[in-house]
């Protein structure tokens, strides 16, 4: 049963951290909402491709307005809970205030494209590996780098430093270490607080905080981090398959994966051959 929220309630619920939505998706959503009978399935599919819109949606659904016992990470369920009128109010509230510069849009396209690809690949991997956390795997794939647009907003030279961070990555240096040296913070920390402000489930926010700390986590053989390890294993495989090191890091070699890949594959029980076969299958799916 959906509970409609007014524009004022939505504006109030959305106060705080905001990641800009993708302009083309906003256009598509605006067109759909002006249809005589807006299709909630189409709207859910469009929203689920965009980290900023998805984060705003989950923030509202996981807010005290709805009083859910457990926080949810499913975009489809959130759309159903809100209903068409509240969703349209949300879309209007998230409409871009003023135009972004072309250069900013080009840079953010690297973030948006990676977020969509990694989310879909995480979903596929979760299904293929028999994970019970399919919605959470998709959400982590979509939101893991949500700190990047905010870092870019705060530090104009951020993408240059991020590229250097991927170049420096290896067994002795995490991607976030280079960012910490330059800015005294990093996109994983900022992403964690962004995800917390969106009221995402705690195990998803913890995975965002630790998504460049995989070497330490998978080197720890204790099982107390099994939920974190399960999500991070899917994410790190998805990032490698989607070549985040190329799209975001502008690097030809995935140095982070070279350092952690054997630990991740050992944890999920995949041989190098199995993983290569899985990777090719997923790439073929994406090409089609």
pTM: 0.86
Q: How far is CA 208 from CA 35, 46, 195, in A?
A: 37, 23, 8
| SS3 at position 97 | coil
* Residues 269 and 277 sit within 8 Å (Cβ to Cβ): no
pLDDT tens track for 207-233: 999 999 999 999 987 767 788 999 999
- State in Å, rounded, how far the first CA of the chain is from the last one: 36
56: pLDDT confidence band, cut at 50, 70 and 90? confident
Average pLDDT over residues 197-201: 90
The distance of Cα 80 from the centroid of its chain, to the nearest Å, equals 21
Percentage of residues in the chain having pLDDT higher than 90: 56
Q: What is the pLDDT of residue 273?
A: 95
Q: What is the pLDDT of residue 1?
A: 42
Has residue 11 got a pLDDT over 70? no
- Per-residue tokens: 116: 């969509």
Separation of alpha carbons 288 and 43, rounded Å: 22
pLDDT tens track for 66-113: 778 888 899 999 988 888 778 877 777 776 445 567 788 888 889 998
Q: Which residue blocks in the chain are alpha helix, DSSP H? A: 7-13, 23-33, 40-47, 51-61, 75-94, 102-128, 134-143, 147-154, 158-168, 175-183, 187-197, 202-209, 214-219, 226-241, 244-247, 255-268, 272-287
Has residue 7 got a pLDDT over 80? no
Average pLDDT over residues 231-241: 97
Backbone phi and psi for residue 173, each to the nearest 5 degrees, phi listed first: -150, 125
């Amino acid at each position: 049963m959906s509970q409609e929220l007014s524009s004022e309630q939505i504006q109030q619920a959305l106060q705080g951290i905001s990641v800009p939505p993708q302009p083309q998706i906003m256009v598509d959503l605006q067109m759909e909402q002006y249809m005589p009978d807006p299709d909630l399935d189409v709207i859910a599919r469009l929203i689920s491709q965009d980290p900023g819109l998805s984060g705003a949606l989950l923030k509202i659904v996981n807010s005290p307005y709805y009083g859910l016992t457990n926080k949810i990470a499913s975009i489809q369920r959130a759309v159903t809970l809100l209903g068409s009128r509240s969703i349209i109010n949300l879309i209007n509230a998230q409409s871009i205030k003023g135009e972004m510069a072309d250069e900013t849009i080009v840079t953010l396209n690297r973030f948006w494209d990676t977020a969509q690809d990694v989310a879909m690949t995480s979903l596929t991997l979760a299904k293929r590996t028999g994970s019970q956390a399919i919605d959470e795997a998709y959400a982590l794939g979509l939101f893991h780098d949500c700190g990047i647009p905010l870092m870019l907003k705060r530090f104009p030279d951020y993408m240059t430093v991020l590229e250097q961070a991927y170049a420096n990555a290896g067994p002795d240096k995490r991607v976030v270490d280079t960012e910490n040296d330059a800015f005294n913070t990093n996109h994983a920390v900022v992403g964690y607080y962004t995800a917390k402000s969106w009221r995402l489930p705690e195990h998803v926010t913890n995975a965002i905080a630790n998504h460049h700390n995989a070497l330490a986590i998978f080197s720890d053989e204790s099982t107390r981090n099994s939920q974190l390890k399960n999500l991070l294993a899917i994410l790190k495989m998805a990032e490698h398959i989607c070549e985040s090191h190329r799209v975001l890091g502008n690097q030809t070699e995935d140095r982070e994966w070279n350092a952690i890949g054997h630990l991740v594959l050992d944890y999920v029980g995949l041989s190098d051959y199995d993983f290569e076969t899985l990777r090719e299958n997923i790439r073929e799916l994406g090409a089609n």
